[in-house]
Amino acid sequence: MAVGIVYDPMYLQHQTGSHVESPERLVATMDLIKSENMLESPDFKLIAPRPATIEEIKMIHHADMIEYARAKSLQATGRSLEYLDGGDTVVCGKSFDVALLAAGGAMAAADAVLSGEVSSAFALVRPPGHHANASRSSGFCIFNNMAILVEYLLKKKGLKKVAIFDIDLHHGNGTSELFYGRNDVLFFSSHQDPRTQYPGTGFPSEIGEGPGKGYNMNAPLAPGAGDDVVQLIFSQVIKPVFEQYEPDIILCSFGGDAHYSDPLSGLSFTTQGYGHYVEGFKRIADKCCGGKMVLLLEGGYRVKILAQSIVNILNVLAGKKMPFVEAEHESGESILEYHGNLAKKLQEHLKPFWKF
């Protein structure tokens, strides 16, 4: 069965000026997908998104936040860009409509997977979403595409348990906050140590509250951490928890900004490292939920590298060889020791809820 690719040229109409979160991210990605002849292959299928309705956005976001985003976008029509926060989250005259299409693209990807049209899907959407919470757009994100998708799956599609892995450079704080007190959503984020990176959240002790205690997991990676560190944390902590949770579907917030060359990054992931990371979760999905996976684009600002990482992941989802392989960036002995201790710390926090 084919792997779905959700894309629409309208995503390029979210114009951001000189901002790093630019249309060129998707231009480069689609150019590479086409040059690899992926859209002519039976292994991949292009899926059209649809706009989210305002009622669907309201499953997560407050009405006044939605109206503020709409008003700011209208203000920017035919004039200079506007901002939804202190200067990170840019909107133009088309941004509100594009943000609706981004959230709707996530739901279209899931619909295609759940219907059996495709085995898994990657939604190449923008603007990204995982920093937005119920009341505030931030961190380049207007609406939280992932959170809207989760509520859609639980409330509209009849799923009971959803698992999310967020592998952006930055902690998926908006998504984490929105589901922090719930056990129908298992959330895991690996990200650069919040003492050294935006948004300053995502410590090992942040494990959820109330019914959600033990269902929120964070692996803050030290600067310089590479692919080997990710595999250590995955095998010792994440794989056992995800397999015990047995989700109905696995979702991913994918950010390519943990790559060693990204202008925002202090981590050392490689393009094939991302592929191997997703491959591990694919094996869990194959075991627990019939391989059902949906990935949403978040960050990643070295556009050539972002494109190569996405193409690698798409090939992994299709069971094919990754075409882009770089020299390994091995973590030093001290970094490996640090993350071995981090894995033990995570296990200690989570032992009351999971077996290791």
Catalytic residues: 131
Specify whether the backbone of 200 is left (phi greater than 0), alpha (psi in -120 to 50) or beta: left
- DSSP class per residue in 49-81: --PPPHHHHTTTS-HHHHHHHHHHHHHTTTSS-
State how far the Cα of 326 lies from the Cα of 343, in Å rounded to an integer: 27
Q: How far apart are CA 12 and CA 8, in angstroms?
A: 8
8 A C-beta contact, residue 164 and residue 187: yes
User: Residue 236 and residue 265: Cα distance in Å, rounded?
Assistant: 25
Q: How far apart are the first and last CA of the chain?
A: 34
Contact of 96 with 127, CB cutoff 8 Å: no
Sign of the dihedral defined by the CA atoms of residues 220, 222, 226, 230, in that order: negative
Instruction: Specify the 3-state DSSP secondary structure of 2.
Output: coil
Residues 316, 310: Cα–Cα separation, whole Å: 10
All residues at 6 or more sequence positions from 35 whose CB lies less than 8 Å from its CB, including other chains: none
Phi, psi for 86 (deg, rounded to 5): -75, 10
The two structure tokens encoding residue 124: 């190449």
Give the span between the Cα atoms of 296 and 314, in whole angstroms: 12
Residue 47, beta-bridge partner list: 6
Closest residue by Cα to residue 271 from 286, 257, 292, 290? 257
And the tokens for 330?
């091995």
Helix (H, G, I), strand (E, B) or coil at 37: coil
